Amino acid sequence: MVELLLVSLLAAGLYALPPSAYAIVLALGIATGMPHGATDLITERGGVSRPALIYYALGIALLGGLWMMAPSWALAAFLVLSMVHFGSEDAAEESDGLLFVHESLVRGALVVLAPSIFHEAEVLRLFELLAGASWSGATWTMVLNTAQTVWIFLAFTLFGHYAVRSTQWRRVAFVFTQILVLVLVFRLLHPLTAFVAYFVGGHSLHSGRKIWPVLKKYRLLVLTATSFTFLLAAFVFWVTVDEALDDRLVRSAFISLSLFAVPHALWRTYDVLRSRLKVQ
């Protein structure tokens, strides 16, 4: 309930912002939502995990190289892994097995797909900025239409799936209220501000609440690790000198986010799937 209220409040506050503020809001929003991922590097004793540090360093280096050599593939990898990560993390704790997979697909695809459905021109411009090439064309239209049809089918059948599995209709109604609010947020807001509202108020808060004792106990270590995001974003900003200021800010924020988010998504998704699907 807290996440639902915060997403709604953030969306209401961001709705009236002028386009000139989008890039700064995106950068600040991503920085605000990053600390929950920094706990991957902390051991049970409060130190820095060397294996985790090596894993992140290799992941950042490999993805950074992919952004330089094949940015379209880097962007595609980021979108797919974000969909899986967001969906699996945000799925209701009561769901398991096939219901968990079903809900994860609906929630994850919504975050990645809704901006393209409601604001296609803005998303295509953003993807062109990040990938260095246009994604528009017959293939894009076919993929988007197919994905939209599949998502609608999955969303409607999820209601039936929940109705069969859950004996509490209040719980079923709450899950679909969450989904409906996100649909409205992505419909009414610009893609960048809608993502900030979801990422900060929904995903990061939801994840942060589950690990709040760790965040509180090791806050200095978490903030130190999070600050590295700013350094990496500053480096990306520095090397993109030929672009307009807003474009440089957006590109820096997204690429720096992806460099940490992809290793984090792989790490957390493995843990979540192993736990929720009872994989040994």
pLDDT at 62 over 80: yes
Residue 85 has pLDDT above 80, yes or no: yes
Helices (H), the chain: 2-15, 22-33, 35-38, 50-69, 71-90, 97-118, 120-131, 138-165, 169-188, 191-198, 205-210, 212-217, 219-239, 245-276
The rounded distance, in Å, linking the Cα atoms of 43 and 92 is 27
Question: d(Cα 135, Cα 113) in Å, to the nearest integer?
Answer: 15
> Residue 73: what pLDDT?
92
Q: Does the pLDDT at position 107 exceed 80? A: yes
Instruction: Supply the mean pLDDT for the chain.
Output: 78
What is the number of alpha carbons within 13 Å of residue 242 lying toward its C-beta?
Answer: 2
Rounded CA separation 203/224 (Å): 21
Mean pLDDT of 120-145: 89
Percent of the chain whose predicted confidence (pLDDT) is above 70: 70
Highest-scoring range by mean pLDDT, 84-93, 124-133, 145-154 = 145-154
Q: Which of 206-210, 242-246, 256-260 has the lowest mean pLDDT?
A: 206-210
Residue 124: its pLDDT value, please?
A: 92
**Residue 39 confidence (pLDDT) above 70:** no
pLDDT tens digits, residue range 156-176?
888 888 777 765 677 777 778
More confident residue, 166 or 67: 67
Residue 280 pLDDT grade (very low, low, confident, very high; cuts 50, 70, 90): very low
Mean pLDDT score, 3-20: 65
Q: Is the pLDDT at 149 greater than 90, yes or no?
A: yes
Taking residues 205-220, what's their average pLDDT?
Answer: 64
Question: Please, is 91 exposed, middle or buried when counting C-beta atoms within 10 Å of its C-beta (0-12, 13-18, 19+)?
Answer: buried
* pLDDT for 5: 64
Model confidence at 154: pLDDT above 80: yes
Per cent of the chain over pLDDT 90 is 12
- Mean pLDDT within 205-222: 65
249: pLDDT strictly greater than 50: yes
Read off the pLDDT band of 178 (50, 70, 90): confident
